Amino acid sequence: MRVGAALGLSGGGGLSGEMAAPLRILALVTDAFGGTGGIAQYNRHFLSALAGCDGVGEVIALPRAGEARQDDLAPGLQQLSPVSGRVAYSLVALRTAQLYRPANVIFCGHLFMAPLAAAVARLFGAQLWIQVHGIEAWKELSGLHRRALQTANLVTAVSRYTRHRLLAWAEIDPARVKVVPNTFDPVFKAGPKPAYLLERHAAHGKNVLMTVARLAAAERYKGHDRVIQALPRVLTEHPETVYIVIGEGDDRVRLEALATEFGVREIVHFTGHVPAKDLPDYLRLADVLVMPSTGEGFGIVFLEAMASGVDVIGGNQDGSLDPLADGILGRAIDPANGEELISAICGALRNPVTRVDHAGRFALPSFQAQLEALVSSSFVNAA
Residue 82 shares a structural domain with residue 162: yes
Q: Is residue 6 part of a domain?
A: no
Domain match, 267 and 338 both = yes
Residues 305 and 371 in one domain: no
What would the pLDDT profile of 220-239 be if each residue is shown by its tens digit? 999 999 999 999 999 999 99
Domain shared by 348 and 376, yes or no: no
Q: What is the DSSP letter of 379?
A: I
| pLDDT tens figures, 240-296 | 999 999 999 999 999 999 999 999 999 999 999 999 999 999 999 999 999 999 999
The enclosing domain of 337 has a CATH number of: 3.40.50.2000
Shared domain for 340 and 250, answered yes or no, is yes
Among residues 249, 250, 259, the alpha carbon closest in space to that of 209 is found at 259
Q: Which domain does 369 fall in, by range?
A: 23-183+363-380
Q: Tell me, yes or no, whether 286 and 164 share the same domain.
A: no
Per-residue burial over 207-242, b if 16 or more Cβ lie within 10 Å, else e, is bbbbbbbbbeeebbbbbbbbbbbbbebbbeebeebb
333-359: pLDDT as tens digits: 999 999 999 999 999 999 887 766 788
Q: Does some domain include residue 300?
A: yes
Bridge-partner residues for 129, per DSSP? 107, 154
pLDDT at 22 over 60: yes
Does residue 6 carry a pLDDT above 60?
no
Residue 109 sits in the same domain as residue 139: yes
Domain count of the fold of the chain = 2
With respect to residue 34, please indicate whether it lies within any of the assigned structural domains. yes
- Dihedral-angle region of residue 319 (phi above 0 means left; psi in -120 to 50 means alpha; beta otherwise): alpha
Query: Is 147 found in the same domain as 91?
Result: yes
Asked if residue 18 belongs to a domain, the reply is no
* Whether 42 and 138 share a structural domain: yes
Contact 331, 289 (CB under 8 A): no
Asked if the structure places residue 152 within a domain, the reply is yes
Of residues 252 and 17, more confidence is placed in 252
- Is 190 contained in some domain? no
Domain-located, residue 17: no
Each residue of 85-114: pLDDT tens digit?
999 999 999 999 999 988 899 999 999 999
With a cut of 50, say whether residue 219 has pLDDT above it. Answer: yes
Query: Do both 254 and 329 map to the same domain?
Result: yes
Residue 215 and residue 144 share a domain: no
The answer to whether residues 173 and 34 belong to one domain is yes
pTM beyond 0.75: yes
